[in-house]
Amino acid sequence: MSKVKYYYDSETLSYKKIERKKRRTFKFISLFLIAAALFSFLFVFIGGQYFESPKEKALKRELSNLELQFDLLNKKMEEAEMVLANIEDRDNAIYRLYFEANPIPEEQRKAGFGGVNRYKRLEGYDNSQLIVNSNKRIDILLKRIVVQSKSLDEIAILAEEKEKLLLAIPAIQPVSNEDLTRMASGYGMRSDPFTKLRKMHWGMDFTAPRGTPIYASGDGVVVRADNNSAGYGNHIRIDHGYGYTSLYAHMFKFVAQKNQKVKRGDLIGFVGSTGRSQAPHVHYEIFKDGQRINPMNFYYGSLSPEEFNKLLRHASVENQSLD
Ligand SMILES: [Zn+2]
C-alpha cells in the first residue's frame, strides 16, 4: 500500500494530494536499470583486465605447464638428434666406408617434407609456432631414423657378402708349412728347368715329398680335375667366384672331383710330379678375371709376419723354377 502524500498549497490555503505521474516513475526506473547494467558491464569488463577468475588462473597455470613440457620435450629431442647424428657419422665414416658403400649425403638424411603443408591443422593458435616446429622436428627425426635403419640393412647384406668374399679368396698356401720342404720358386721371370731359358713363371712352386696333402686355398667349386692341359699334368682348378680361380698342378692323385664344392683347407689331392715337372712339387697359380696374378699377395691373413717375410724372400729369388 503506497501512502497518499499531501502538500500545502499556499495560494488556496489548503492541503492537496500529490499526484504521482506513472509515466515519470517508469522512466526513472528504466534509466536506473540501464545505468546499473552499464555500470556492472564496465565493472566486469574493466575489472576483468586486472583481476582473474579462479578458472582463468587454473587455465593459465595449465598453459604454462604445457609450454614447459614442450620445452622439455624439445630438449629431449635435441639429445636424440645428437645421438642419431653420432650414429650417422659413424655409419658414413666407418661402416659404409668399410663395406665400400657410398656415404649417404647430409641433405638426403635430413630432408624435410616438401609439397602440401602437413601442419595446416596446427595453425591459427597463439602457440602454433611452437607446436608446428616441434612436429616438424620429430618428423625429420623419424625420417632420419628410417634412413639410418635402411643403411644398416644394406650394410648387413654387404657384410654377409664380404664374409663370403673373404672365405672365397684363395688366401692360404696349398701346402701346409710343416709339410713344405721349401718354397722353390716364385712368380716372375725364371730360368726354365728344361730349356734353361729365361721365361715367365706364372705361379709359385712349393716343394714337398710325393703324397703330401694339397689343400683348397679358398671356398669354391672344382671346375677341372684332369690332365688335359699341356704341362700341368694332373691338375685342379677351383672357381672361387668374384673373378678368382686357383690352379694346383703336377698332382700325384686327386681327392676332389669336378663340380665338387670345397671349403678353404679341404684336402683336394696329393703332391706329385706329373706333367712338365722336374721334381715333386705343387705349381700354384691364381687367376683374377682370367689374368694370372702373383699368389704372394694373398697370404697376408694366414701367415705370421716372419713366415710371410721368409716366403717373400724365397719367392723373390730369380732362380730356376720346377715348372
Ligand atoms: Zn711352377
CA of 155 relative to ligand 1 center, distance in Å = 41
190 in Cβ contact with 199 (< 8 Å): yes
pLDDT digits (tens, 9 = 90+) for 153-185: 999 999 999 999 999 999 999 999 888 888 889
CA of 214 relative to ligand 1 center, distance in Å = 15
CA of 302 relative to ligand 1 center, distance in Å = 21
Report the DSSP beta bridge partners of residue 214.
269
**Alpha-carbon dihedral angle through residues 232, 236, 242, 244, given to the nearest 10 degrees:** -30
Name the average pLDDT for the chain.
Answer: 91
CA of 43 relative to ligand 1 center, distance in Å = 112
Residues 6+ apart with CB under 8 A from 170: 217, 218, 238, 240, 244, 246, 286, 295, 298
pLDDT digits (tens, 9 = 90+) for 235-290: 999 999 999 999 999 999 999 999 999 999 999 999 999 999 999 999 999 999 99
**CA of residue 34 relative to chain centroid, distance:** 76
CA of 236 relative to ligand 1 center, distance in Å = 14
**Buried b / exposed e along 43-74 (16+ C-beta atoms within 10 A):** eeeeeeeeeeeeeeeeeeeeeeeeeeeeeeee
CA of 298 relative to ligand 1 center, distance in Å = 17
CA of 261 relative to ligand 1 center, distance in Å = 25
CA of 224 relative to ligand 1 center, distance in Å = 18
Digitized pLDDT (tens) for each residue of the chain, 323 residues in all? 567 788 888 888 888 887 767 778 888 999 999 999 999 988 888 877 777 888 999 999 999 999 999 999 999 999 999 999 999 999 999 999 988 899 999 888 887 777 778 888 888 888 888 889 999 999 999 999 999 999 999 999 999 999 999 999 999 999 998 888 888 899 999 999 999 999 999 999 999 999 999 999 999 999 999 999 989 999 999 999 999 999 999 999 999 999 999 999 999 999 999 999 999 999 999 999 999 999 998 886 778 888 888 888 889 998 999 99
**Buried b / exposed e along 97-116 (16+ C-beta atoms within 10 A):** eeeebebbeeeebeeeeeee
State if pTM tops 0.75: no
